[in-house]
A and B are shown apart, each in its own frame.
Chain A
């Protein structure tokens, strides 16, 4: 028996729900339903489900056997589909040979390389780093695909098994290709389950992810096992990509987005249960096919059928019991102490930021950076957008950096802020609420200084943050990431494209220039200064907040929720507050972001990938450091530098280099987290701080680290003889035991 009683009940419930939805839909639309139409729609749904099941199976296999949730699964499929097209269509190889080369040779090789070069180093990394690195791999793979196979040519991958012949279903037919894909998807899921449950290698795979060292002592070879897992996952991703490409066409973004459906399906199986993941995929396929067939959503909700997967993901993640959600392994080690930036240090730092911005935009630092004084409107425009995104990035600092609550939806919060701002300054609510009858003139509302409205936007965004925090309060780690991702995707598909939310205008600016204290910031240089000032103020506020009781609470729940609760920290309330704060910052930042260009692209502007990039860059810079957000300014800086170099001529190689840096830089930076998990800004700060006269602590830390480097590895100690006092100190340091406990002169000396 494949399923237990609980699963059977769940499946029955799901199918019953599906049936009820279909009946409701049919009643609603009043569509004429024939058995033939229903049959055809159902088999289309099952076929789509089978395709997505293949992706989901790969996700589950990799997660079950390595503990890493691979956000790059879809990108592997994209790369494989393009590679297959290159061999089969462009170079004329036979389809079977091309399939073998891509799925049988290339994909496993890619998986093994990923494992050896990157994934093994993530074994002890925090969940944030693990997720960020797989997202970075996704971005890098998509960039490589875009560079190799440019989008100026439409490409089609032919169906592997032919599409025009099949089983006769009366007026319609079921093509062999779809039948075979369906059977293959089921067979793969069954085979994978058998592999994991019934074979020695499968047992070893699951053992390694539970306890690598113990598994090794029992004869498993952890490295071989993890490489095998990645090879398998990569093969399934590649096969899924090749099979779904004929359905969607070879478009990287479109193909990659399929992975979100696979996430939902995998979540349906709690990321570990293959049969349930397959059923989840089928359920999504059926829902989507029947929705397309029977439902009319109008132009306001035109992407509603695409939002089925994220909504289901949202629902499943929230509904699943917490016990099943405990995933990931946080490496608990005692830090000597977390140093807090002093209030005057923060003040000086923010002052320096503002002064640099003034000098920079005024063109007084020509000797430092490539001709910044010559920055024209183009560079300032890009810099303004980057600074607005940096402000959005700041919202992640307390949330991810301090409280450890992963959030892939910063753009959704920012967009919501922009939406609220648009509505409050438009003063339509005055009429809507009937306040005009009480003598309130909408024009008076519009004339109120924007600063008040921006603060109001912040306050109104807080409830949204709190709302998201409620389910988040019982989620952790990966599921929190998935939930926020689903939330962001649902908002980008349902909420923002609605013309009521972001009205389309015929001319001019959707978002007027901001007016603060009587000054209208209608020129880009002034707006840049304003953004820098706001950025500095928010950074300083965060510096102070980090020193506060709430800041310490957030870090406490990040270290250990159980310990924090034991100490009397109200975990749920603390999470609600940090989410609300994050939403406030993101909402206010959203106002500035929307005002930069004056108009928001409501369809692509909130794309999940843009949100990913913000999180990626802030994480790469060091998400626990408030000033890390300024890292985003490097994007327009590089771009502007490229333009200048291009204009000056004869420096093609530099332009190319900058192009590469702009395209691949963010991804590469994030991959750097494998080695510096706390981020680039953190490392830079650590290198810089010892030269500050008052930072004796930093100098002592460096000295201790250097001393530690000279000490032998723990594994080399105490094997053939008793520990010496120095070795005990070394072990204590390795274990992160507080320095205060260990006498500086060592135990031996202390005793003497």
Chain B
């Protein structure tokens, strides 16, 4: 009798299960082949666009985005475009009364000539909605990348104050990815449904970009959402064909996630040291080893240093859990090898711990050349005081105190209202400028109603040299392998960041010889 109950019960449940599970007729468009969509998109674009454009737009848009579109876009947004855009953008920035959109005939206001339309998801007659996603609300690290959100908001306010974008006001919605893969995916989904594009993305765990790359536009085409990101740490995000990062990953795409990968690295700063400070450098390189992605991004740089003659005495991994006293082990390695060079690929706190421990161990810290990268360009690094004196720091954009040399930088510093903003605020602002530049290009070509996700994707893919109007090292978005070739070197002197190279304010060193390209399985390169 008891068994009969079991059987009846199970059958009933299975019947309910079958009834409940059988009819999944609703589709939230989350499915699709992420790999196929992006590669097919450009090839199929012409047909798709023809189908997708509204009747009113067909005539106008067919001219600009039909079979000839690629050529026209290439012409308008190739190398020549950069100069033109730079000029026009600079003019715009300099003249507060100037038109917000640069055209060859500036006296014509494109906004007055057309009835603005809701051309795609996230665009209305009055507004363009962008979504900024950043890791902010993790319970254990709240506010982590709040700077990104602040940067995008500052950019939007600035653009709106200048008259808007594509004759519309920019609206910003925020999404907190919370250092969580699911919340990051949720951000892509929200962007897909509610925003025109993502701007200033600063999410560390974008492990699956399927929803980003297969999102449907207003016409039902699975073309993806344009994603103007600052940080792309994971290979799926780095290789997403709808993602355009202001901080270029400089790595080969597509990439399977494991195995060999071609990567380009900036070595100009170390070359400068070899030529001007010490002709022989041997030392310890700290590898941030918490994440496979950080290992994969820092090992190429270390090997590049070796390519130009630096001798590596040790390459230990450091974690956020490494105590200061545990840095003593690396100090001992340096002592044993008589090192004169110390470089950390980790953050400012890592360098502070390292240098503090060196002093605690009674090491002659002045005999060492200490070097760090952008992560040390923070106020808290200076707050460490004398312990970080003489540390070299290299970055790939003009420092925040050189507002007199670059209008874009000046606008950023004015808008962000922070004497020393976090770097990700600057990166997210740069994303905004790239987005702005692409949209302006589209408007210049086809008018404010030509702005669609597809047009933005095409426009961004054709940007071969974007330098945030002279503020940043130029980046080529037509390939993922092309590194940002410029750098500038600073040194902490008397508790300030002091420019060292190039000596001239407002300049970056853009010697193409500063770039070294190597191919390896970078995860396997790390010895630990």
Contact = CB atoms under 8 A, between A and B. Distances in A.
Contacts of B336: 32, 34, 37
B383 interface: yes
A361 B23 CA distance: 12
B523 A506 contact: no
Contacts of B209: 507
Interface in B374-419: 378, 380, 383-384
B143 A150 contact: yes
Contacts of B292: 299, 497, 499, 504, 603
**Which of B6, B13, B295, B524 has the most chain A CB atoms inside 10 A of its CB?**
B13
Contacts of A292: 316, 322, 326, 329
Interface in B218-271: 235-236, 239-240, 253-258
Interface in B336-394: 336, 347-349, 352-353, 356, 359-362, 378, 380, 383-384
Nearest to A34: B336
B527 A382 contact: no
Contacts of B141: 146, 151, 251-253
Contacts of B144: 151-152
Contact of A299 (B21, B140, B523): B523
Contact of A597 (B185, B193, B316, B332): B185
B12 A154 contact: no
Contacts of A697: none
A471 interface: no
Interface string B291-321: 1100100000000000000000000110111
Interface string A135-158: 000000011001100111111100
B182 A525 contact: no
B20 A354 contact: yes
A376 B193 contact: yes
B384 to A, nearest CB: 7
A419 to B, nearest CB: 16
A529 interface: yes
A244 to B, nearest CB: 8
A357 B20 contact: yes
B257 A505 contact: yes
B20 A247 contact: no
A293 B332 contact: yes
A451 to B, nearest CB: 12
Contacts of B422: 152
Contacts of A247: 323-325
Nearest to A659: B137
B16 interface: yes
Interface stretch (A117-125, A165-173, A702-710): A165-173
A302 B290 CA distance: 8
Contact of A173 (B26, B180, B254, B360): B360
A378 interface: yes
Contact of A143 (B139, B254, B291, B356): B139
Nearest to B384: A156
Given A504-B292, A540-B9, A154 B182 contact: no
A147 B141 CA distance: 9
A600 B328 CA distance: 34
A166 B34 CA distance: 60
A509 B362 CA distance: 51
B528 A302 contact: yes
B182 A163 contact: no
Interface string A498-524: 010001111111100100000101111
A171 B358 CA distance: 12
A354 B329 contact: no
A521 B22 CA distance: 10
A178 to B, nearest CB: 7
Q: Please report whether the interface of chain A is mostly helix, strand, loop or mixed according to DSSP.
A: helix
Contact of A41 (B142, B240, B328, B528): B328
B323 A48 contact: yes
Contacts of B324: 246-248
A289 interface: yes
B359 A164 contact: yes
B528 A298 contact: yes
Given A171-B335, A599-B207, A499 B13 contact: no
B135 to A, nearest CB: 10
B295 A378 contact: no
B24 interface: yes
B449 interface: no
B186 interface: yes
A455 interface: no
B190 interface: yes
Looking at chain B, what size class is its interface with the partner chain?
Answer: 35 or more
A609 interface: yes
Contact of A302 (B189, B317, B524): B317
A47 B328 CA distance: 12
Contacts of A299: 289, 292, 295, 317, 523-524, 526, 528
A235 interface: no
A343 interface: yes
Contacts of A536: 13, 16-17
Interface string A412-456: 000000000000000000000000000000000000000000000
Contacts of A296: 527-528
A80 B260 CA distance: 47
B211 interface: yes
A563 B16 CA distance: 41
Contacts of A248: 321, 323-324
Contacts of A355: 16, 20
Given A173-B362, A544-B6, A381 B143 contact: no
A321 to B, nearest CB: 32
B30 A522 contact: yes
A104 interface: no
Interface stretch (A345-353, A397-405, A617-625): A345-353
A328 interface: no
B360 A152 contact: no
A525 B27 CA distance: 7
Contacts of B49: none
Interface string A544-580: 1000000000000000000000000000000000000
A690 interface: no
Nearest to A385: B182
B28 A544 contact: no
Nearest to A504: B257
Contacts of B289: 299, 302
Nearest to A363: B26
B236 A506 contact: yes
Contact of A503 (B186, B258, B291, B320): B258
A44 B185 contact: no
Contact of A156 (B185, B349, B524): B349
A441 to B, nearest CB: 23
A530 B21 contact: yes
Given A246-B324, A499-B523, A504-B257, A377 B30 contact: yes
5 contacts: A44-B328, A289-B329, A306-B319, A381-B182, A544-B9
Interface of A: 32, 34, 36-37, 40-41, 44, 47-48, 142-143, 146-147, 150-156, 163-164, 166, 168, 171-173, 175, 178, 244, 246-249, 251-254, 257, 288-289, 292-293, 296-299, 301-303, 306, 343-344, 346-347, 350-351, 354-355, 357-358, 361-362, 376-378, 380-382, 385, 497, 499, 503-510, 513, 519, 521-526, 529-530, 532-533, 536-537, 540, 544, 596-601, 603-605, 609, 663
Given A40-B361, A297-B528, 20 more contacts: A37-B332, A154-B380, A156-B349, A164-B359, A171-B335, A249-B349, A253-B141, A299-B292, A361-B26, A499-B292, A504-B523, A505-B235, A508-B33, A533-B20, A544-B6, A544-B9, A598-B207, A601-B181, A601-B207, A603-B292
Interface of B: 5-6, 9, 12-13, 16-17, 20-22, 24, 26-31, 33-35, 138-147, 179-183, 185-186, 189-190, 192-193, 205, 207-211, 235-236, 239-240, 253-258, 289-292, 295, 316-317, 319-326, 328-329, 332, 335-336, 347-349, 352-353, 356, 359-362, 378, 380, 383-384, 422, 523-524, 526-528
